[in-house]
């Protein structure tokens, strides 16, 4: 055994003997009933803004607070896009806008979490929308973890936002004609419940 391996083994044994826990990543499952990917985009001539959301979503979060690392993945069901206006919902799903028959889902996968202390302040990652993948950085406006009052497990929540250009994703309907530009503000309110530890085999 080399000296470095021997020192590492000694450190692990010493930590175990002293009762010190070795930090490990913690996993959380997105609570879809309390997670709302939403968006805001200009309407005709920019005189007002359309607002909408994606009703069905899923995903997972991994956090290692000691190492200041982790990952986030959110899957959004684009067939459930909802503007609060049925005709607009129907049009948005057609092939000249989101073409949900061909691209039924959108995903956001992180590549890096930015921490300040134990709190996440930004997420760097890739958004896949309309079959196109582009880098998108989310600003995390709020991040908090507390014991869930009902499930007796930790729950973490965040409010994140970013501005994208939908034309970058091939969604250019109306831009340059009735709509001034393709800027869309994304807002994602997310809650994730810590997974229960596996029981004895």
At the top level of CATH, which class does the domain 24-194 belong to?
mainly beta
Residue-wise pLDDT tens digits, 87-111: 999 999 999 999 999 999 999 999 9
Torsion, CA 151, CA 36, CA 186, CA 70, rounded to 10: 30
Q: Could you tell me which residues come within 8 angstroms of residue 117 by beta carbon, excluding any fewer than 6 positions away?
A: none
Q: Looking at residue 143, what is its pLDDT?
A: 96
C-alpha 183 chain-centroid distance: 19
What secondary structure letter does DSSP report for 179? Answer: B
| Whole-number pLDDT of residue 43 | 87
DSSP-derived secondary structure for 8-72: HHHHHHHHHHHTPPPP--EEEEE-GGG-EEEEEEE-GGGSSEEEEEES-EEEEEEEETTTTEEEE
| Domain boundary assignment for the chain | 24-194
Report pTM.
Answer: 0.84
Residue 2, pLDDT score: 52
pLDDT by residue, tens only, the chain of 201 residues:
554 444 334 443 343 444 444 558 999 999 999 999 999 999 888 899 999 999 999 999 999 999 999 999 999 999 999 999 999 999 999 999 999 999 999 999 999 999 998 899 999 999 999 999 999 999 999 999 999 999 989 999 999 999 999 999 999 999 988 898 999 999 999 999 999 875 444
């Amino acid at each position: 055994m080399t000296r470095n391996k021997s020192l590492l083994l000694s450190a692990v044994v010493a930590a175990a003997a002293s009762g010190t826990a070795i930090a490990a990543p913690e996993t959380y499952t997105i609570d879809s009933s309390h997670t709302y990917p939403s968006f805001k985009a200009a309407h005709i001539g920019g005189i007002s803004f359309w607002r909408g959301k994606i009703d069905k979503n899923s995903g997972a979060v991994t956090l290692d607070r000691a190492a200041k690392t982790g990952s986030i993945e959110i899957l959004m069901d684009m067939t459930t896009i909802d503007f609060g206006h049925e005709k607009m919902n129907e049009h948005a799903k057609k092939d000249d806008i989101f073409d949900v028959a061909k691209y039924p889902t959108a995903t956001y996968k992180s590549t890096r979490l930015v921490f300040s202390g134990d709190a996440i302040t930004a997420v760097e990652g890739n958004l896949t929308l309309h079959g196109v993948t582009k880098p998108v950085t989310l600003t995390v406006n709020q991040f908090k973890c507390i014991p869930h009052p009902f499930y007796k497990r930790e729950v973490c929540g965040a409010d994140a936002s970013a501005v994208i250009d939908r034309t970058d994703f091939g969604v250019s309907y109306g831009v340059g004609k009735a709509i001034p530009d393709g800027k869309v503000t994304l807002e994602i309110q997310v809650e994730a419940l810590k997974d229960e530890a596996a029981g004895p085999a």
